[in-house]
Structure 1
Amino acid sequence: MKFKNKLITLAVIAFLQGCGGGDSSASSGKPEEPEKPLTVAQKIAALEESGQLPKLNRDDTLTGIDADSNGVRDDIDAYISQVFPAEIRQAATKAAQVEQSMLTVDVNDKDAVRDINNAYTRANGCIFETARNKDLEIKPYIVSKQISAITANTKKRLLAMVDFSHASNGMVFTGQLNGNCDE
């Protein structure tokens, strides 16, 4: 008896699955092609076109376009202005300048690598200090992480960051709780 019940249940399930939704393509005799999911690049492009994401420079250069020569790519300047609260923008811009310098430093010059790492420590300390002192809701590590991500947004830039990271191996850096925003 149990076998018969299972057989009937399977037959009903198979029948119900075969009875699709009765869409119009079935009646026309043409099978409907399933929509292909968007690639990550297509999703990003759509978000940039809609204005939900700032358009980032993805050319084949390390430095991108910096028309105002402030040490930060123009697209990253726009991102900082659009995404971060006004109170933290100056600290975020300083961090972006340091991140940008990581792309072009001579990784064989250990003193230059150390100087940039010290500047990076101070710049990120300034982000944290600003967020703490101004009681901002934004999480400072998110600001730092986003700046790193948008700076290394192409393979060439990412590989330059990896080279910089390798050149920094074995170095030690210290930070301070306050005074990071002083220049």
Structure 2
Amino acid sequence: MKKAVIVLSWLSIFMTGCSSLLNPTIHNSLKEVRASNFLKNEDKTKTIGGIDANNNGVRDDIEGYIKLKYANNPEFISVYMQYAKELRRKMTLASEDRETYRRAAHEASMKMVCASEIDEKVEPEKMYQDTIIIHALTVNTKQRRAESNRISSLVSGMVFTLPTTEHCRFYKN
């Protein structure tokens, strides 16, 4: 399990802005998500942050997706909402400070560690795919992909530490 967490943490840091990681399998999964009953009214507005009517830090379409997909597992709702919130926060920082984005990437990585911590029986590949889908939905427009790529360029070559599970907080949304 530790290897899976380390690999997932590294992948989270690596995908800080790499929308090119969306391989054909993920593209197909994203198509399935878009055709499913889980994603309603995908936000394709031109703003980086998108619509968050309830001001909880998570884009409304992604929040709806998470709550519908994980309706039977409040802990998963909690960690994926935290992950989506951190991705959105990172995308809307509008900073030129590399250290700011390094910290934000570390925060997003910590959320992935928490997702693996809530159930040791979780399939790491499935969890990885779910976080990639949330990331792909977060960068679903030209403007958002451009911002994600800008962030990736800023943190390129930086050193990151791997997070631990000590910070994980599970609460019901």
TM > 0.5:
yes
Amino acid at match of 1:113: Y
What residue is the counterpart of 1:111 in the other structure? 99
Identity of aligned residues (%): 29
Contact 2:110 2:165 in 1 (8 A): no
4+ aligned runs moved over 6 Å, structure 1: none
Q: 1:129 aligns with which of 117, 138, 142?
A: 117
Amino acid at match of 1:62: I
What residue is the counterpart of 1:156 in the other structure? 143
Distance 2:92 2:38 in 1: 30
Q: 2:77 aligns with which of 89, 104, 112?
A: 89
Once the two structures are superposed, the pairs formed by residues 27-176 of structure 1 within 5 Å of their partners are: 47=35, 51=37, 53-84=39-70, 85-132=73-120, 135-136=121-122, 139-176=126-163
Contact 2:58 2:85 in 1 (8 A): yes
Distance 1:88 1:108 in 2: 33
Distance 1:108 1:144 in 2: 26
Distance 2:150 2:131 in 1: 19
Once the two structures are superposed, the pairs formed by residues 14-33 of structure 1 within 5 Å of their partners are: none
Contact 1:125 1:176 in 2 (8 A): yes
Distance 1:156 1:163 in 2: 11
- Cα distance, 1:54 vs. partner? 2.8
- Cα distance, 1:153 vs. partner? 0.8
Q: Root-mean-square deviation (CA), in Å? A: 2.7
- Aligned residue pairs total 138
Deviations along 1:117-175, one digit per CA (max 9) or x if unpaired, are: 1211211111122242xx34582212211110110111111111111111111112122
Amino acid at match of 1:75: D
Distance 1:154 1:90 in 2: 25
Contact 2:75 2:118 in 1 (8 A): yes
* Residue 128 to residue 61, structure 1, CA distance change in 2 (3 Å): same
Distance 1:102 1:113 in 2: 7
